[in-house]
């Protein structure tokens, strides 16, 4: 079966724009599609902070991919990097657990 034949089999309903009910239904569908596209574009911007599959390609029930620490650190403004490093030096860490800021501080020092 050719692509054209498959497309012809899709049940596409004709819209009569002189009918106000059909016009309003069409407009609602268009608005919802625009909203979905905007949200997908917004979600796509966050994909750079994850490794592997793009967020827009994930199944709704799938877990988030691994976080890309390097991309997150590079996106932090220089002032906030300084504050993070400064906070890292002030934080006293118990020997049994490591402060997240401390691990980021080490990665930041390696990047700069």
Across 6-24, average pLDDT = 91
Cβ-contact 101, 91 below 8 angstroms: yes
Is a pLDDT exceeding 60 seen at residue 26? yes
Cα(62)–Cα(87) distance, rounded to whole angstroms?
Answer: 35
Question: 80 or 34: which carries more pLDDT confidence?
Answer: 34
The whole-number pLDDT of residue 89 equals: 58
- pLDDT tens for each residue of 41-85: 998 888 889 998 888 888 888 888 898 888 888 888 777 766 766
């Amino acid at each position: 079966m050719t692509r054209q034949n498959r497309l012809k089999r899709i049940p596409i309903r004709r819209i009569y724009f002189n009918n106000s009910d059909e016009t309003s239904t069409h407009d609602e569908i268009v608005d919802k599609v625009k909203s979905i596209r905007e949200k997908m574009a917004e979600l796509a911007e966050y994909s750079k902070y994850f490794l592997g599959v793009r967020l827009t390609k994930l199944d709704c029930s799938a877990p988030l991919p691994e976080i890309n620490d390097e991309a997150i650190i590079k996106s932090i403004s220089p002032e906030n990097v300084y504050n993070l490093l400064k906070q890292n030096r002030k934080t006293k860490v118990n020997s049994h657990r490591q402060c997240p800021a401390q691990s980021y501080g080490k990665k930041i020092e390696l990047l700069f």
